Amino acid sequence: MEKTVKKCPVCGHKAPSWIIESLKGKGVIGFFESRSKEMKKIYSLSPSVQELIRTNPEYNAQEKHIAIVIENKGEICQSRDVIYDGSHLLIEYFLKHKEPYKVYHNIKKAELISLFKNPKITSIFVFAHGTRHGIKIDGQMSFYCELKGGAKKNYVAQMHCNPGGGMSSKEVGLTKKEFADNSTRTSLQNIKKIKEIIKLIDQGEIIL
């Protein structure tokens, strides 16, 4: 059995203990099971988001394009995993404006590294479980320090929980601009933030 990675091999930053427990398959299910009835209502959105991903996984992505990374493997059933939510707004927006994109779904760590190094990918939206310094990929932590080596992206949005300190994607030199806060995130927060990002794209404040 592969050993759980607890700290970044590049900078030595340690992942918070609660993320380590979730990598072992503990803790996260209990967290979602304990949510109030009002919060559980947002689970109903996930199946429709999945259907949109299945029917529109990419558009004109042979050359330069935007990557939407969705990592939902692990102990939470896919139909209830709210890390999807917000990605559907991007897909609808990119299709409407004929913006090349591709959804990278359930990828391995090596694939994530290649995405950040791929010069054809100009910007990346990351939907996952994680911390400010990394995300959970295929049951293991992948730290942003480990993804260096390619040209800077125009924009990276860390649409995952960002607690625990450590350097964000921009702070380690992966991107020119980013979204990365310092706290846990909910489905509704991600939907609101994606709407804000789309507005900034329309205004020319964010170049993808």
pLDDT of residue 1: 36
DSSP-derived secondary structure letter, 56: -
What is the widest separation between alpha-carbon atoms in the chain? 49
pLDDT of residue 109: 87
pLDDT of residue 198: 97
Spatial neighbors of 117 by CB under 8 A, at least 6 apart, are: 147, 149, 150
Residue 22 host element (H or E): helix 17-23
pLDDT of residue 82: 64
pLDDT of residue 26: 44
Quote the CA–CA distance of 81 and 75 in Å, as a whole number: 10
Quote the CA–CA distance of 27 and 20 in Å, as a whole number: 9
pLDDT of residue 79: 47
Burial class (CB in 10 A: 0-12, 13-18, 19+), 136: buried
| Domains of the chain in sequence order | 17-202 (3.40.50)
pLDDT of residue 19: 62
pLDDT of residue 44: 47
With beta carbons less than 8 A apart as the criterion, state whether 202 and 194 touch. no
With beta carbons less than 8 A apart as the criterion, state whether 68 and 78 touch. no
Consecutive sets of 10 residues in the chain, 208 residues long: mean pLDDT of each? 59 67 48 45 57 87 94 50 80 96 88 94 93 85 89 94 89 94 87 95 96
